[in-house]
Each structure stands twice: as structure tokens, then as C-alpha cells.
Amino acid sequence: MALVGGSVLGPIVGGTIVDSYLGWRWTEFTGILQVLMLALDVIFLDETYPPALLVHKARRLRITTGNRALHAHHKETDYRFKDMTDKYLFRLFRLLVTPICFFVALYALRSALNYLVDTFTWFSASAVAVNIFLRCIFSGTFPLFATILYHCMGVPWGPSLLGFVATALIPIPFVLYVYGPGIRVRGKWSQASVHGH
């Protein structure tokens, strides 16, 4: 909920606060409240990431048993720069050229993010990140051509063109509903969502 709700509710709540008698300074106080909540989370919430838990368990077992050979697999993995760039940079763009990720990014409805998470189970963070990246690219480049669009096409046809594009994107969820399982079976990163592992 926070993934999609924060970017939707943030401007609404911020605008309401700024327009009220509280003024713009109260939006800064909400940022301070967020930092306070983060600090409390770091202090009081336990670690839940399984590889990190195994590292702590292996450390505890080394101390209690005296066996220095006990190590978690996560700690023994050698991470090279190539592996890190492949995982955190290039995988995003490889996911973008998959049919499901590309069309969901074009469709740009926030509810479609759940479909990405269910489709790319182990790689869902990368799929959502590339979706957000493409959405930011669209929102950043639209102001560059919006003035030209309205100047050349006029007020009646400028928004109509955008409406025609939006209308052309309407079938995407239905196409993915019908053909999605077949596409997921053939996909390198989406097979786990079909086979269940």
C-alpha cells in the first residue's frame, strides 16, 4: 500500500496542509516525523532478511562451538563489480524489454504494479523499479513536448491525441489476462510465478 499510496496521497495531504492555517512549514515537520519513525524502526524492529539472519546465526554458532569453519552461504559469496552492475543496473533494462514489463509500464496504472510483483516473484523489486523509471521518464519528458503539442494541434486535438493513446492502451490488462500465462512460461524471469517456486 505504501508503494503506491505514498505517491498518491503525498501531494494531496501536502497541498491540504500548505493551504490550511498551518502553512508550508508543517510539511517539513512531517519529514521530521518520518525520520523519527525510521529511527524508531531501526532501534526496535528485528531483522527479517533470511540471509542476514543466517549470518548472525553462523556468527553465534562460531562463538558458542568454537568452530571457526561455520559460515553462512551469503557471507561466502564473492560479489564482483560485474555481478553487482548486472544485478542492480542492467537487469532493469533487460526486464523492460520483456513483453509483460514493457506493456505494464506503458499502461502505467498503479494497480498493475501488483501484477508485476506476482509475475516477477524473485525479481519484483527490479520490475517495479523499471516501471517507476519509465514512468519518471514519461513525466519528465512530457513537459518538453506538451507546449509544442498544444501549439501545433490546438486545444481540441492535443488532449484528444493523448486520449487516443490512452484508449489504445485499454486492452493491455485483458491481453495480459488471456495471454499472460503463456508469456510467463516463456520468460526467463517470470517462470517462477507459473511453476510456483
pTM across the whole model: 0.65
The span from the CA of 102 to the CA of 127, in Å, is 10
Q: How many CB atoms lie within 10 A of CB 126?
A: 23
pLDDT above 90: residue 38: yes
pLDDT digits (tens, 9 = 90+) for 64-84: 998 888 888 777 777 788 888
When mean pLDDT is compared over 8-17, 68-77, 177-186, the highest value belongs to 177-186
Identity at 134, one-letter amino acid code: L
